[in-house]
C-alpha cells in the first residue's frame, strides 16, 4: 500500500500536536509504524488519505453500529445544521432523546446529557458520593472510565497500551479514595467492602469490559455485585459507554439481566458525534443541580447536532431489533472461524466475544481480567495487526482494545477478514 500522504501528514502533525495525535492510542505506539490518516468513510469501510480502503473494526470505537454515514443519520444532521449548531439553551431535542433512552433502557428514570464518556463517569461518581455522603469509589483493574483523575489508577485502554503505571499530573491524594480491584474476583470485593464499611459510595465497572480487549463477566459475578451493593447501600454504576445500545436494545444490562443504580453512556447516543450521558434512579438523579447540591454543568451538553444524530441512530435500532440478532450472529461466526484457523495453524490464542464485541489474545490461558489480558504475546499481536492492515483490515492498534462490528458488515467482508487470518504466520 502507498502511505506517503499519511506519513507526510503525521510528520506535520507532530510539529503542532503532542505526539501528532489527539488521543494516545492513535499513535500506533504499541504496534509500531506510522498511523494512517483517514479522509472518509462509508458503511463498513474507511478510506485513508492515500486512497486505501479498509474494512473497519474500530467503528469510531463503537458508535457507528449502523455503519458509517448512514443515510438517515446524515440527512437528519444536515437538516439540523441548517437550523443551528448550538444554542446554550434548552431544546426539545434533549427531551426527545432522553425519552427514547428511557423507553429502551428499563431502569432509567432520569437522564443528564454531557459531552463525553469521561464527563459522564466523573459526574456519576460525584453524584454517588453526594447521594451517599461517602467518599470511596471501587473500580476494577483494566476498566477504563475516562481520564478523570480519580479513575487513572490501574486503568485499561490507552494507559495499558502505553504501559503507563502511574499517571503524571495526578496527585496521589486524589486517588487515595479509589480502590482498584481485580475484575471477576468476588473475594476481593467482599474484603474491600468489609475493610471499608460504610465508606464506599459506589462500585463502577464496565459490565462487559472493552478496554483490555473484550472480557465478559464471569457467570454470576454481576449478580454478586448487585447484591453486595444493595446489602451495603453502595451505588452500583455500570459504565455502558461502549456496551450501551450495542449489545442489545437495553445494553449490557438487558443482555446480562442485571440492573445498576446509575448508568453512563456515550458514543452511540450521539451517532458518532461527541456526547455522553448518565442516568438512573430518580431519587439519586434528583441530587444533581439545579434540583440538588451536586454540581455538574456543560455549555455544549445536549448539543443539537449530537442529539439529532443520536436520536436518529437509536430510533433505527429501536425500530429494527433484528440488527442485534445479526450482529450477534456475525460476532459468533467470526470468533468461531478465527478460532478454527488459529487452532489449525497451532498459533496460541484466546478469542473473547460478546455480541458485536470481539478480541483476540495471543496466549494459551483464558482471559478474564487485566493480568491475564496482559499476558498475551504483544510481538505476535504487532505482526498480526500489520498483516491485517496490509490486507485491508483495520483493527484497533492495541491488544488492549476490543473490536466492534457494524450492521453494514457483509458476508464478503467477513470472508476477507478470515482469509487474511488464514494467511497470517506468527513465525
Q: Check pLDDT > 90 for residue 135.
A: yes
Start-to-end Cα distance in the chain: 22
Q: Residues with catalytic annotation?
A: 144, 239, 267
Q: Which residue from 392, 415, 397, 414 is spatially nearest to 405, judged by alpha carbons? A: 414
Q: Check pLDDT > 60 for residue 308.
A: yes
Mean pLDDT value of segment 140-168: 72
User: Does the reported pTM lie above 0.85?
Assistant: yes
How far is it, in rounded angstroms, from Cα 98 to Cα 260?
Answer: 18
Instruction: Return the pLDDT at 170.
Output: 74
Instruction: Return the pLDDT at 152.
Output: 82
Type and span of the H or E element at 120: helix 117-132
DSSP string, 202-219: EEEE-SSB-SSS-BPPPT
65-123 pLDDT, tens digit per residue, is: 999 999 999 999 999 999 999 999 999 999 999 999 999 999 999 999 999 999 999 99
Mean pLDDT value of segment 35-57: 97
**Which segment of 22-26, 233-237, 379-383, 391-395 scores lowest on mean pLDDT?**
22-26
Q: Which residue from 208, 183, 203 is spatially nearest to 262, judged by alpha carbons? A: 203
Q: In sequence order, what E strands does 10-132 have?
A: 38-42, 45-48, 53-56, 110-114
Q: Residue 160 — pLDDT band, cuts 50, 70, 90?
A: low
> Would you call 299 helix, strand, or coil by DSSP?
coil
H helix intervals, 243-374: 251-256, 282-285, 304-319, 322-344, 370-374
Phi, psi of 20, deg, nearest 5: 80, 5
- Largest distance between two CA atoms of the chain: 61
Amino acid at each position: 500500500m502507498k502511505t506517503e500522504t499519511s506519513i507526510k501528514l503525521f510528520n506535520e502533525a507532530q510539529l503542532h500536536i503532542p505526539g501528532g495525535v489527539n488521543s494516545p492510542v492513535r499513535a500506533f505506539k504499541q504496534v509500531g509504524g506510522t498511523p494512517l490518516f483517514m479522509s472518509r468513510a462509508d458503511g463498513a469501510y474507511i478510506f485513508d488519505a492515500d486512497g486505501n480502503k479498509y474494512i473497519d473494526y474500530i467503528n469510531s470505537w463503537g458508535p457507528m453500529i449502523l455503519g458509517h454515514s448512514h443515510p438517515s443519520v446524515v440527512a437528519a444532521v444536515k437538516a439540523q445544521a441548517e437550523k443551528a449548531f448550538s444554542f446554550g439553551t434548552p431544546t426539545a431535542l434533549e427531551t426527545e432523546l432522553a425519552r427514547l433512552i428511557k423507553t429502551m433502557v428499563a431502569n432509567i428514570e432520569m437522564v443528564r446529557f454531557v459531552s463525553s464518556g469521561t464527563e459522564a463517569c466523573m459526574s456519576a461518581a460525584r453524584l454517588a458520593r453526594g447521594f451517599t455522603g461517602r467518599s470511596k469509589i471501587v473500580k476494577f483493574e483494566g476498566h477504563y472510565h475516562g481520564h478523570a483523575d480519580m479513575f487513572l489508577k490501574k486503568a485499561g485502554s490507552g494507559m495499558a497500551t502505553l504501559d503507563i503505571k502511574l499517571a503524571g499530573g495526578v496527585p496521589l491524594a486524589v486517588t487515595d479514595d479509589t480502590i482498584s480491584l481485580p475484575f471477576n474476583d468476588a473475594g476481593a470485593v467482599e474484603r474491600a467492602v468489609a475493610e471499608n464499611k460504610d465508606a464506599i459510595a459506589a462500585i463502577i465497572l464496565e459490565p462487559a469490559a472493552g478496554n483490555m480487549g473484550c472480557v465478559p463477566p464471569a457467570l454470576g459475578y454481576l449478580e454478586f455485585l448487585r447484591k453486595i451493593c444493595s446489602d451495603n447501600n453502595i451505588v452500583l454504576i455500570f459504565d455502558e459507554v461502549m456496551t450501551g445500545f450495542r449489545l442489545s436494545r437495553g445494553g449490557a444490562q438487558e443482555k446480562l439481566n442485571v440492573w445498576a443504580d446509575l448508568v453512563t453512556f456515550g458514543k452511540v447516543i450521539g451517532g458518532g458525534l461527541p456526547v455522553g450521558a448518565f442516568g438512573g434512579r430518580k431519587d439519586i438523579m434528583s441530587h444533581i443541580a439545579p434540583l440538588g447540591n451536586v454540581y455538574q454543568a456543560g455549555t455544549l451538553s445536549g448539543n443539537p447536532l449530537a442529539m439529532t444524530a443520536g436520536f436518529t441512530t437509536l430510533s433505527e435500532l429501536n425500530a429494527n431489533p433484528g440488527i442485534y440478532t445479526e450482529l450477534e450472529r456475525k460476532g459468533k461466526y467470526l470468533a468461531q472461524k478465527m478460532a478454527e484457523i488459529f487452532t489449525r495453524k497451532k498459533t496460541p490464542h484466546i478469542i473473547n466475544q460478546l455480541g458485536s464485541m470481539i478480541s483476540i489474545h495471543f496466549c494459551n490461558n483464558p482471559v478474564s481480567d487485566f493480568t491475564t489480558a496482559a499476558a498475551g504475546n504483544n510481538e505476535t499481536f504487532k505482526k498480526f495487526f500489520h498483516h491485517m492492515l496490509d490486507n485491508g483490515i483495520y483493527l484497533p492498534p492495541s491488544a488492549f482494545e476490543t473490536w466492534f462490528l457494524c450492521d453494514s458488515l457483509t458476508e464478503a467482508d467477513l470472508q476477507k477478514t478470515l482469509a487474511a487470518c488464514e494467511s497470517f504466520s506468527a513465525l
